[in-house]
Amino acid sequence: MLRLPATVTTLLLIALVAYWLAGIVGAHDKLAAIAPPPTSRGDYRITLAFAPERFHQLLLQDKGRLVEVRGNVVFMKDVDPAALRSIARNYWVESVARWSGH
């Protein structure tokens, strides 16, 4: 009788887990460019596939100090490794690279 709600919930959960796993795999690939892996706070250049909107800026501001936006690139300071991983997990983040901070 409640097969439909159970099936839909299961499918939703599978989709959520797949999304989460895809984020982790994607973050791993994006962070592979940064060697050695970060162990302390650092400055980074976050490249998106589009010019960031207010939504992206607010979200990134929670993870560190947003210094500048130039085209599709966001420059950030004082980003800790966990925050960097969570930024890289977003599928709309194209790449992450170290930034000298100037």
Partner 1 sequence: MSTSAVLRVALPRARPRRRFGVAARGFAGVLILLAAWQISVPLVGLSPYFYPAPTDVLAAFVALVRKGILPVYLADSVMRYLTGLVCGAGLGIGFGVLIGMSRKASLALSPLFKFLFAIVEVAWIPIFVVWFGYGIETIVLALIYVVFFPVLYNTLLGVRTAPQILVNAVRSLGASRLQVLRLVILPGALPGIITGLRLGAGFAFRGLVFAEMVAAKTGIGYLIFEGAQAQQTSRTIVGMIVMGLLWLAIDQFYLRPIERATIQRWGLTIDAAERT
64, HSE (Cβ side, Cα atoms, 13 Å): 24
Angle between helices 3-31 and 81-88 (to 10 degrees): 120
Which window, 34-42, 61-69, 70-78, 88-96, contacts partner 1 (CB under 8 A)?
A: 88-96
The closest alpha carbon to 93, from 28, 17, 16, belongs to: 28
**Strand pairing report for 42-48 and 93-98:** antiparallel
Contacts with partner 1 by CB under 8 A: the residue count is 15
Give yes or no for residue 49 binding partner 1 (CB under 8 A).
yes
Kindly tell me which of 49 and 82 has the beta carbon lying closer to partner 1.
49
Give yes or no for residue 2 binding partner 1 (CB under 8 A).
yes
For partner 1, the binding residues (CB under 8 A) are 1-2, 4-5, 8, 49-50, 53, 55-56, 58-59, 90-92
